[in-house]
Structure 1
Amino acid sequence: MKYTIRMVVQNSMRTDRIRNPSWTPGSYVSSNKNQRYNRGFINLQESIDRAIIDIQAGKKVKEPSVQLQAFPYPCYFKDNFLNSMSSSFPIVLMVAWVLFIAAFVKKLVHERELRLHEYMKMMGVNPSSHFFAWFIESACFLLVTIIIMTIILKAGKVFPNSDGFIMFLFLCDYGFSILAMSFLISAFFDRTNVAGLSGSLVYIICFFPFIIMVTIESSLTFSTKNLLCLFAPTCFSYAGQYIGYYEGQNIGIQWDNSYVSPLSNDTTSFGWLCWLLLIDSLIYFTVGWYIRIVFPGKYGIASPWYFPVLPSFWAECCGFNTCRKDSGRGLLFTNIMLQSGNIDHKNKGNEGFTSEGEAELEGLPVGVSLHSLTKLYGQTIAIQNLNLNFYEGHVTALLGHNGAGKTTTMSLLTGLYSPSSGSVLVYGKDMQTHMDAVHRDMGVCMQYDVLFEHLTVKEHLLLYGQIKSPGWNKHELNQQVRNTLKETGIYAHRHKRVGMLSGGMKRKLSISIAFIGGSKTVVLDEPTTGVDPCSRRSIWDIVTRHKTGRTIILSTHHLDEAEVLSDRIAFLERGGLKCCGSPFYLKEKLGQGYNLTLTRRVSD
């Protein structure tokens, strides 16, 4: 006789697997989980079997009743706290890092928003040095936090069985990926608050693939898991779950089991996930670096998308600075144009151009040369086909009304913007292809003050003096800083933070920074803006005193300032050069004397 007993699912065991994927120590004596057959199935089977036997035997057969007893199991530790939090532990660890992402992204974008990053590049700071400064500062902050977190996890007995050093390395690995993700996210934003909020949001979204992995974990292949683990928060949370599995087995994560999965038929391990975190970090840093170079944002000169294969890129990385083959020809062409004063009428940017004679400029070394420089903002022409030379030992002033193109020209000279066409040669080096080499010998005072609010006046000069002249010893640097402070009249304020200075004092500090370190090319964009008349005269003296051996370019609105300071004046109008020459030459050539208007009141 054959029969089948169908029980409800609540009173039967699942038959699709032999055991649970993750083993944990325990007696497994539980009427709710492991001994459901005792809750009716066995009793019903026994009653039916007895009835069949009695019918076949024709009499009531007495047999002992069915009894069950579990096998003995050794003593084990049951961590109720770990069992209750094992499912929520990955998300708790992930959320703990949200504020770090927001803070690191905001710090990077804040410096770009204030144009501090570009200003440091203009003063000769290598972008890699600026990056490592941010990286070391952020990493030290993270390291302190990781040490505290490791102590809490071990001393608080959250993970009492795991190796403390492995936990520390695991958190450091994830901290490195946090820095890499912050660097990547910051490359897409120019506004501080938007960047901080978006960074936190992107970080949280990158955790969602972990939920998918946990839900369909058994059906995922090794490649699919690796692909989902390209999101660092997902990879970190998945690795944290492995630690929870080992702690549930009273083993903890150790060196000998880090590459062995605690789950049956699993293709990944804790050790491999740690390597994936490191790979994620390298990918984030590489992509972020590439985006920053190809898409620098509002400020900076963009490189072509194929720049890694250009010989000039590797020459710059290796420290070999070579000029373009056509730079000498361009210099000769520009010299002929400026000295002859005969410009083709098709050259609209220099229409009506007037220059001093050939004898006056003969033999002077050319410091900076502009070749057919053009800058477009959409359909608006800011600079159109500008050709001009700036000579060493001369102060050349760019004069013009608001909107004439002075500030745009200065921005192109310093590399803040990239030209739409044309080129800028600084001592024979193309600004676009040899920017780092050009910036090492350039001092800049921008139209606005770009300063660090938390540094003092003296600390600013010490910082930029060391950047511009790394060969100076401590005594020489301090002496140069002291002389610069006295020349600009801010020696008495040397220990004040920049946030406590007036606008005129900040302006003097910006000019001091431009001249310190012996820069060969000095660009001063409206240097006396917001300065009182007395300080204005002292700034004039500073410019005049330091022009020997330098190519000084300044822009101004004031004709008297240009006349006092400049050896040559270039008048700009609507983005084009109208006339250029020494003040005496321009007066002689274009001056029409004075007009005197008299008004007489007639009596009744």
Structure 2
Amino acid sequence: MISAFFSRANVAAAAGGFIYFLSYLPYLFLWPRYDLLSHAQKVSACLISNVAMAMGAQLIGMFEGKGTGIQWSNLFDSVTVDDDFSMAQVLCLLLFDSVLYGLVAWYMEAVFPGEYGVPLPSYFFLLPSYWCSSPRMAMVNEKEEEEDAEKAMKGEFIEEEPAGVVSGIKIKHLTKEFKVGNKTRQAVRDLTLNMFEGQITVVLGHNGAGKTTTLSMLTGLFPPSSGRAYINGYDICQDMALIRRSLGLCPQHDVLFDNLTVREHLLFYAQVFNNIAQQLLITVK
């Protein structure tokens, strides 16, 4: 869960150890006052997993002091008649903590993905489209498409789009801005482009023209500042998980592992693209 709050692994590792130690400190204040705590206070304290583990260790020690120890028969029993806390409750709270921390990590990674990734709105889990996926091209306004096509045809340097072909990628007024110091730098400005199935589309431009930034937005590395884009009918800001099932990216550097053979590389990427895994396994053999 802690790693979801950090974008760098070394910072997360250092902070994780520090936070892990701090999360144990509340128990040092609760232990001398254990007999004075209400049941609700004990349960609330156990929402911190380290406190729950310390409480469990304390109960084990108290049962050992009685000479019985923790057994299946007394797992749901309290140590004394005055106590209302059992080892079974501690175990249930530890399980609850695991689920709770997992949900927090899932939410934080979705809303604050860090340097790379497309953030979802804070209420994303309330959207039906998140759980059921949005219909393909459901959000594309046909009138807007017609207006864009008409404008493109009027442009002096814009080639008319071919008829009878399907647009696999639709880019509509895509813009990306970066903060550089106190200034805002526009890497991609109002890009509108259709890429057709069955054709090879090449994007040319000088260094800094925004080619890599455009591809980064299409593959979900960066969220667009404004505009929309659709790949196979799915929105890059809402349906990236569905898009990645059919999308591949070859970066500017080699994505190879020194300790893997050629066959192992093929098998690895076959697992990444599950839809071709079985076919590739046969080919590799």
TM-score (norm. length: structure 1):
0.44
In structure 2, C-alpha distance between the alignment counterparts of 1:392 and 1:289, rounded to whole Å: 35
Unaligned runs of 5+ in 2: none
SS at match of 2:105: helix
Instruction: Output the CA distance in 1 between the equivalents of 2:101 and 2:61.
Output: 28
2:90 is the alignment partner of 1:270: no
Return 247-256 or 303-312, whichever deviates more.
247-256
- Aligned-residue offset at 1:218: 2.0
Shift of 1:402: 1.7
Letter in 2 for 1:240: A
Return the match for 1:231 from 38, 42, 48. Answer: 48
Cα distance, 1:413 vs. partner?
A: 1.2
Taking structure 1 as reference, are residues 452 and 324 closer, same or farther at Cα in structure 2, changes over 3 Å only? farther
Q: Does residue 157 of structure 2 align to residue 354 of structure 1?
A: yes
2:174 to 373, 380, 392: 373
Deviation at 1:466, TM superposition (A): 4.2
Paired residue secondary structure (2:71): coil
Q: Deviation of residue 446 (structure 1)? A: 1.5
Return the letter of the residue paired with 1:373: L
Measure, in 2, the Cα distance between the counterparts of 1:284 and 1:479: 41
Q: 2:150 — aligned with what? A: 336
Query: Is the Cα contact below 8 Å between 2:137 and 2:230 reproduced in 1?
Result: no
2:226 — aligned with what?
421
Query: Percent identity at matched positions?
Result: 38
3-state DSSP of counterpart to 1:209:
helix
1:283 and 1:472 map into 2 onto residues whose CA distance is 34
Aligned residues: 281
In 2, Cα distance between equivalents of 1:269 and 1:234: 15
What is the root-mean-square deviation of aligned Cα atoms in Å?
2.1
Q: How far 1:428 moved relative to its partner?
A: 2.2
Distance 1:236 1:217 in 2: 15
The amino acid across from 1:458 in the alignment is R
Query: What's the CA shift string for 1:51-107, capped at 9, x where partnerless?
Result: xxxxxxxxxxxxxxxxxxxxxxxxxxxxxxxxxxxxxxxxxxxxxxxxxxxxxxxxx
Describe the superposition over 1:456-496 as per-residue Cα deviations: whole angstroms up to 9, x where unpaired: 332222232344353664xx4245458xxxxxxxxxxxxxx
Choose the corresponding residue for 2:129, options 274, 288, 312: 312
Listed one character per residue, the Cα deviations across residues 228-271 of structure 1 (whole Å, up to 9, x for unaligned) are 11110111011011111112222110122112222352121111
Q: Is the 8 A contact 1:365 1:391 kept in 2?
A: yes
Question: Contact (CA 8 Å) 1:235, 1:276: kept in 2 or not?
Answer: yes
2:267 corresponding residue in structure 1: 462
Query: Within 2, Cα distance between the matches of 1:223 and 1:323?
Result: 51
**2-side partners of 1:334 and 1:303: how far apart?**
27
Give the equivalent residue in structure 2 for 1:196.
13
Partner of 1:393: 198
- Decide whether aligned partners of structure 1 residues 204 and 194 sit closer, same or farther in structure 2, where only a CA change above 3 A counts: same
For residues 58-69 of structure 1, the aligned pairs below 5 Å read none
Residues 204 and 442 (structure 1), Cα distance of their counterparts in 2 relative to 1, 3 Å cut: same
Asked if 1:324 corresponds to 2:141, the answer is no
Residues 321, 437 of structure 1: 8 Å contact kept = no
Q: Is the 8 A contact 1:323 1:429 kept in 2?
A: yes
Q: Cα gap change, 1:466/1:269 in structure 2, threshold over 3 Å: closer, same or farther?
A: closer
Question: In 2, Cα distance between the equivalents of 1:210 and 1:449?
Answer: 50
Aligned pairs (5 A) from 1:206-225: 206-225=23-42
Unaligned runs of 5+ in 1: 1-183, 343-352, 483-604
Q: Alignment partner of 2:54: what SS?
A: helix
1:544-586 Cα distance to aligned partner (Å, 9 max, x none): xxxxxxxxxxxxxxxxxxxxxxxxxxxxxxxxxxxxxxxxxxx
CA–CA distance in 1 between the matches of 2:190 and 2:277?
41
Partners of 2:39 and 2:94 in 1: CA distance: 16
* Equivalent residues in 2 for 1:581-592, closer than 5 Å: none
The CA deviation at 1:398 is 1.7
Rounded to whole Å, the distance in 2 between the matches of 1:453 and 1:308 is 40
AA matched with 1:284: Y
TM-score by length of 2: 0.90
Alignment correspondent of 2:117: 300
TM alignment of 1:25-40, pairs within 5 A: none
Selected match of 2:250 from 430, 433, 445: 445
Q: Is the partner of 1:187 in helix, strand or coil?
A: helix
C-alpha change, 1:203 and 1:414, in structure 2 (3 Å) is same
- Counterpart of 2:62 in structure 1 is 245
Using a 3 Å threshold, how does the CA distance of structure 1 residues 285 and 466 change in structure 2: closer, same or farther? closer
Q: Which amino acid aligns with 1:414?
A: T
Distance in 2 (CA, whole Å) between partners of 1:433 and 1:407 is 21
Aligned letter for 2:280? L
In 1, Cα distance between equivalents of 2:274 and 2:99: 33
- Alignment of 1:477 with 2:285, yes or no, is no
Mark the CA change 1:451 to 1:303 in structure 2 (over 3 Å): closer, same or farther. Answer: farther
**Offset, 1:388:** 1.1
**Residue by residue, what CA displacement relative to the aligned partner does 1:190-236 show, whole Å, maximum 9, x if unpaired?**
21211111111111111111111112112221111111111101110
Distance in 2 between residues matched to 1:435 and 1:330, nearest whole Å: 23
Write the distance in 1 (CA, Å) between the matches of 2:19 and 2:257.
Answer: 30
Rounded Cα–Cα distance in structure 1 between residues aligned with 2:236 and 2:128:
16
Which of structures 1 and 2 has the bigger CA Rg?
1
- Is the Cα contact below 8 Å between 1:373 and 1:419 reproduced in 2? yes
Distance in 2 separating the partners of 1:337 and 1:480: 47
CA change 1:362–1:306 in 2 (3 A) is same
- The CA deviation at 1:315 is 0.8
SS of 1:443 mapped into structure 2:
coil
Paired with 1:356 and 1:189, the residues of 2 have a C-alpha distance of: 46
Structure 1 residues 305, 405: CA separation in 2 closer, same or farther (over 3 Å shift)? Answer: same
Mapped to 1, the partners of 2:175 and 2:141 lie a distance apart of: 18
On the 8 A contact 1:370/1:389 being kept in 2, the answer is yes
State the alpha-carbon separation in 2 of the partners of residues 247 and 188 from structure 1. Answer: 40
